[in-house]
Amino acid sequence: MGVEVKVEGLSKSFGKQVIWEDVSLVLPKGEISVLLGPSGTGKSVFLKHLVGLLRPDRGHIYIEGKDVPNVPERELYEIRKMFGVLFQDGALFGSMTIYDNVAFPLREHTKKNESDIKRIVMEKLELTGLLGAEEKLPGEISGGMRKRAGLARALVLDPEILLFDEPDSGLDPVRTAYLNQLIVDLNAQIEATMLIVTHDVNTARTVPDNIGLLYRRHLAMFGPREMLLSSQEPVVRQFLNARRQGPIGMAEEKDAAELAAEKEEGEEIPPLPPIPPQISPSDGEPRRMQRPAGQWLKENNVTPPPGSFTSPEGYGEAATAAPATTEGSRQGSGGGVRVLSKPAKKAPARKTAAKKSAAKKPNQ
């Protein structure tokens, strides 16, 4: 079961370069969250702060009451055991077999015998669809398989928090879809707290329970998926539409002259695309932490973009709700977050399994 991660007033600079300031959010226990943002906004730097690889200039990161930037080295070592990290390229040891790569954390951090290690490693390889590839070297398998091997290694210590740094980087859309389904199935089974850093808009729109957006060295928004996907903020609309029109420029933000020129030419940011249904586990049962489709919209009387939730499992009535408004918005526990209501109630517990998804995967 995952744990809550609470970030308060986090700021970081490298010399005179400010990466971000006063970032505050809460990663809810057992939920999947996504962190979006233009290139160079410090998303990967944020992950390194969570595990204590970098220290902030100011701010706090609380995990089970312990402030990660300020604990002694011995305590930090123990806190890191709560994390599993999937790096962009898998970060596998090229001279080790897939089996030995996955077994490495168990040999380094536990006193388990080789019989127990083999049982755990083979279980994680089966979970990620890699049975039969355990004796291969990383250079002998595809990029998608290397990603899954990195994920298997991240899982061997049964982490309570899983971090994914650009898991879709270098993967084609089909392999990305398989990986997204695997992430959802894993969350249904182990209920770890998950944070995904990504540029892939489709992943952000369909996988998480919560979405955050870093922009202009601040956290522009963080909250339930439907809150961000129905937001009328220009930066959100531009990012989700992947258009040039809007406040984001080649060097992160446009200057006033560029924005004025766009306005003169009559270039407007397109409306938000429809909200798609959230990916469900392979067995069709909702995750325990998964909110019913349209619940946040109904509770906050927000109209979704036209065409939202068009699948049979979607929530079509949301289109008849009153128009969205930001009047009276208040900050919630996430700090810097536009939250219009109390947190949504969680779906009832259901038994799920990730193995079903992994078994369907082709070698990739």
Domains identified in the chain and CATH numbers: 5-215+355-359 (3.40.50.300)
Encode pLDDT of 176-204 as tens digits: 888 899 999 999 998 999 999 988 888 99
Residues 6 or more apart whose CB falls under 8 angstroms from that of 268 comprise: 245
Report the alpha-carbon distance of residue 314 to residue 335 in Å, rounded. Answer: 30
pLDDT tens track, the chain, 364 positions: 789 999 999 999 998 888 989 999 999 999 999 998 877 778 889 999 999 999 999 999 999 999 999 999 999 988 988 999 988 776 888 899 999 999 999 998 888 999 999 999 999 999 888 989 999 999 998 888 888 899 999 999 989 999 999 888 777 888 888 889 999 999 999 899 999 998 888 899 999 999 998 887 888 889 999 999 998 888 887 787 777 666 666 555 544 555 555 555 656 677 788 899 999 999 988 898 899 989 999 999 988 888 887 544 445 443 333 333 333 333 333 333 333 233 344 444 444 445 545 555 544 5
pTM of the model: 0.79
